[in-house]
Amino acid sequence: MARLVIVSNRVPDVSDGAAPRAGGLAVGLADALVPGSVWFGWSGKCIDTRSHEVTRAEAEGVTYATIDLAEADHRAFYLGFSNATLWPLFHMMPSFVTFDSAEYKAYREVNEQFAEALMALLRPDDLIWIHDYQLLGVAADLRRRGVRNRIGFFLHIPFPAPALFELLPCAEELLAGMLAHDVIGFHTPPDRARFLEAMAAHGYQVQGDDVLHEGRRIRVVVTPIGIDVEGFSRLAGRAIRRVEAKRVVDSLNGRTLMISADRLDYTKGLPARFDAYRRFLGSYPEHRRRISFLQVAAPSREEVEKYKSLRDELAYKAGAINGAFSDFDWVPLRYMTRAAGRGLLAGMFRISHIGLVTPLRDGMNLVAMEYIAAQDGADPGVLILSRFAGAASLLPEALLVNPYDIDAMAAAMHRAMSMSLEERQERHEALLEHIRTHNATAFSRSFVAALNRFN
Ligand code: ADQ
């Protein structure tokens, strides 16, 4: 069997000899990362100058190979073009986009640096699987260096509407670079359709779900990511027996818990969510004092200006909600700006009657799946989910909401508070079935199978 080489911006840190932490991509790839595989990317460390030196570490038979980035490259490639241009544009939030040609140049150079460092690691029959928007050009850089291996690419975030993609001065160059892959994967059919539409608009030949280019056929597939459902469910079951979870339950005094957990990112829709909660408390006074909303927001990309202003905005809104509605013995909103451990988060999901997942736009959203997996089937909670998360296409039995519609979100909270046990169970059973079908194993197997089938 061919060796699998994973390439992503970040690589799990196994420098202390420990198994990689169970983050989204590590879980999604667990099944594919058999002993002998390689995972290559940035170490997370910055140094003074550019270097192609590769550091290797090993855990459970997998080689984790990393390079360091020059401090200036990290600013321009990562914080700049990747996260201040591509991230907001691909999430279809053009007013958040900045474009700086020097940052784009650094993006191209860092992609080159990845390709150059990879050359020392590759064997002729390796399957190469590149991940995400930071590395759109690596395959083309590898081809220029003579690499003939099969190369796959998976985009973890949405692909934008073609009219928005066109705002990028480098739109053509990015699309042309993507044609160096053999297989390109997206979470949902609409993402694939938008990508193919952009290809056609640029004059490339689209045939069914493939792009034909210079005698080659590029397969464009839909392989949604998933989670380890049984593993997360077990984690939640163990977590509710822990003292931290008991403390949370005690603090509720019999009130209903509603939970959200996200990276602190403007795509996740936190300000509108806070507005909706405020509207809910105002419009449905019968629920006041009966509910507590816990928002756990993990700080993210704090050096990017838009993320700093988001933090200020949320602190203001949270204060305003608590100022307007708190009572001497009740605080409506608990707002934490830190990451929670996975076990604790799983336990919190389990004891929450409502899971509120309302991104303005999201590639997939694993929190929605984790919330479902964490529930007790005998008394499951209700998932309120944005129709603009990729997960909505897999989870139609959630209460689907438009995250821009504050009244509709408030009404969904009311509906979730009032839903019968029978309806909750019916919805939960269906949702559980979907996340079992589209789990982490299905994700990596179907993508690798597409890459293997390619000819
Ligand atoms: P993210 O934007 O990071 O991922 P998501 O899919 O929700 O979003 O994954 C977040 C992960 O971080 C989950 O496992 C979640 O439990 C964890 N997490 C979130 N908030 C946390 C908190 N406050 N404390 C601790 N852990 C927290 C990108 C795309 C998504 C896509 C994934 C995978 O933006 O759309 O689903 O990649 O493809």
Retrieve residue 149's tokens: 């291996």
Is the distance from CB of 444 to CB of 29 less than 8 angstroms? yes
- Distance (Å, rounded) from C-alpha 304 to C-alpha 117? 28
Mean pLDDT of 121-141: 97
Q: Which tens digit of pLDDT belongs to each residue from 218-246?
A: 999 999 999 999 999 999 999 999 998 99
**345 CB near ligand 1 (under 6 Å):** yes
Domains in the chain, CATH or no CATH each: 4-226+440-453 (3.40.50.2000), 230-436 (3.40.50.2000)
Q: Which tens digit of pLDDT belongs to each residue from 34-50?
A: 999 999 999 999 999 98
Mutate which of 89, 344, 357, 367 for ligand 1? The one with the most ligand atoms within 8 Å of its CB, which is: 367
Residue 261 has a pLDDT of 97
- Distance (Å, rounded) from C-alpha 359 to C-alpha 401? 10
User: Which residue's CA is the closest to the ligand 1 atom numbered 16?
Assistant: 367
Mean pLDDT of 316-324: 98
Band the pLDDT of 19: cuts 50, 70, 90. low
**347 CB near ligand 1 (under 6 Å):** no
Q: Give the other-Cβ count within 10 Å of 153's Cβ.
A: 26
**47 CB near ligand 1 (under 6 Å):** no
The answer to whether 156 is a known catalytic residue is yes
Backbone angles phi, psi at 230, to 5 degrees: -65, -40
Residue 15 has a pLDDT of 74
At residue 344, does pLDDT exceed 60?
yes
The CA-atom distances, in angstroms, between 263 and each of 42, 150, 297, 362 are 20, 33, 5, 12
At residue 14, does pLDDT exceed 90?
no
Residue 301 has a pLDDT of 86
Candidates 359, 354, 397, 391; CA nearest to 374 is: 354
Question: pLDDT exceeding 70 applies to what percent of the chain?
Answer: 98
At residue 264, does pLDDT exceed 60?
yes
3-state secondary structure 286-302: HHCCCEEEEEEEECCCC
Question: For the packed helices 421-437 and 229-239, what is the interaxial angle rounded to 10 degrees?
Answer: 130
**24 CB near ligand 1 (under 6 Å):** yes
Q: Give the other-Cβ count within 10 Å of 452's Cβ.
A: 14
Is the distance from CB of 299 to CB of 259 less than 8 angstroms? no
Candidates 10, 174, 47; CA nearest to 107 is: 174
**385 CB near ligand 1 (under 6 Å):** no
Band the pLDDT of 79: cuts 50, 70, 90. very high
Mutate which of 187, 360, 365, 371 for ligand 1? The one with the most ligand atoms within 8 Å of its CB, which is: 365
Is the distance from CB of 273 to CB of 364 less than 8 angstroms? no
Q: Which tens digit of pLDDT belongs to each residue from 169-200?
A: 999 999 999 999 999 999 999 999 999 999 99
Residue 87 has a pLDDT of 97
- Distance (Å, rounded) from C-alpha 308 to C-alpha 312? 7
User: What 3-state DSSP class applies to 184?
Assistant: strand
